[in-house]
Each structure stands twice: as structure tokens, then as C-alpha cells.
Amino acid sequence: MSDTDVTSVPSERMNIHRVTPDVSRAMVALEHKIKLADTKVLTATHGHFDHVAGMAELKRMTGARLIVSEPDKELLESGGKLDFRFGDTPGARFEPVKVDGTFKDSDTISLGGTVLTAHLHPGHTKGATSFTLNVQESGKTYRVVIANMGSINPGVTVSGMPKYPGIAEDYARTFKAQKDMQIDVWLASHAAQFKLHEKYKPGDPFNPDRFVDPQGFKAAVEQLEKTYREQLARERAAK
């Protein structure tokens, strides 16, 4: 099972996807469930290679528009070269892809009755974004978050990076914003972050309630914030 997921948000007319590097294989596997031609919008929680390396290929396969956060546009269009941490790492590069539109914090992406609200949660990248939407199922309305969790990559200095001097403040704002979110269903950029493989195993019966986990979301955010605060204190003490 992959830890980097592809999320399909179906509506009457479209699918919205986030993309893994193995996009061709992943989309072929999904072809029996969705029609690639029905995909009208592509987006991503952030512009790192393990999420968008296949975006250019998926754009060719679907003809869909790519809409991402304003700060991460340069990451996708540079193929990762402008990333503040991995820009000089050849293994983190990917095929550049043209961005067709951008969004800001609290902007929405709407198609076919589905509305995604973008929440700018920077730190992991300058334009890291979570998305919320309401999903109706069996008479219930679920408040869903596809969260970009505030994890810290190896080599990142949270007290300030030459190409990202405001990183400490951005992480702090992200943790506060995420703790204030009122959600039911928690999904994330990586399966392990929301314990997908514990909550669902192949063959399990359909049950959306298995993903209802607001307490787990808050606890995960608080743990990441603790890690951030401890690293920030160490870095400042060393100066």
C-alpha cells in the first residue's frame, strides 16, 4: 500500500485529484471507478515531489486545469527547483507543470455541486494547503478535512531558512489554525498521518464513520506542534 495517496472528490461532473509520482499506474488502477475525462480540476496540498511529480503527466492524460496555492505555484512550474529546502536536491526534482490558476486562503474551488475551501497552512512549504468540504452520506453531513500536516522535513531549520526567513511564524500560525478547525472526518497528505491502514483494510465493509476522528486530528496537530516548539527552542539556544 502507498503512503502517499490520491484523493478523488466526486461530484456530478468532475473529480478533484491530488497526485502521486506513480500517477500513470495509479490512474490506470482507478480507471474502472472513474473516467479520466471527467476530471476537470487538479490540485495539491503542497508542491513536493512525492505529491506532484506526476502532475504534468496527469494533466496530459485528463486535460484538466491545475489550480494550486499562490505561494506553491513557483514550485510546480520550476519542477521543485525553487523549494526552500529541496531545491538543490536532484532527487527531489520533477517534470515542471504549468499552473492554470491559483487560490488564496479561504478561496473555494467549486464544480458540479462540490465545494472545496482552501486553508493556507504554510511551513512544510510556503503554500502548503488543507482543504475542507461537506460530504452527504446516508442522511448525515460530514465535515471533511484533507489536511496538510505541519511535519518538519530533515534539514529544515524552523528558526529561519535563507530562502524562508518567516518559517517559524508560519508554522506557529498553522498549528493554531488547525487546532481551531471543527471537523468530523480527517484525511491527510500521507496515509500514515491519519492512520488509514488501521482504520480501513481491503475488504472492510463501507462505513464512513470509521474515518470520523476529530480527537485524533487534534492530537496529531498538538504532537507536531510539540515537536516544532522543541526544535525551535534547541535551535535558538544554540545561537
DSSP track, 169-197: HHHHHHHHHHHT---SEEEESBGGGGTHH
C-alpha separations of 21 from 18, 83, 107 in Å: 10, 17, 27
Q: Which CATH number fits domain 16-237: 3.40.640.10, 1.10.287.370, 3.30.260.10, 3.60.15.10?
A: 3.60.15.10
DSSP reduced 3-state for 21 = coil
- Angle at CA of residue 174, ends 168 and 179, nearest 5°: 130
Query: Is residue 145's pLDDT more than 80?
Result: yes
To the nearest whole number, what is the mean pLDDT of the chain? 89
Least confident of 33-37, 201-205, 228-232: 33-37
Predicted model pTM: 0.89
**How many other CB atoms sit within 10 Å of the CB of residue 108?**
12
The stretch 99-110 carries a mean pLDDT of 98
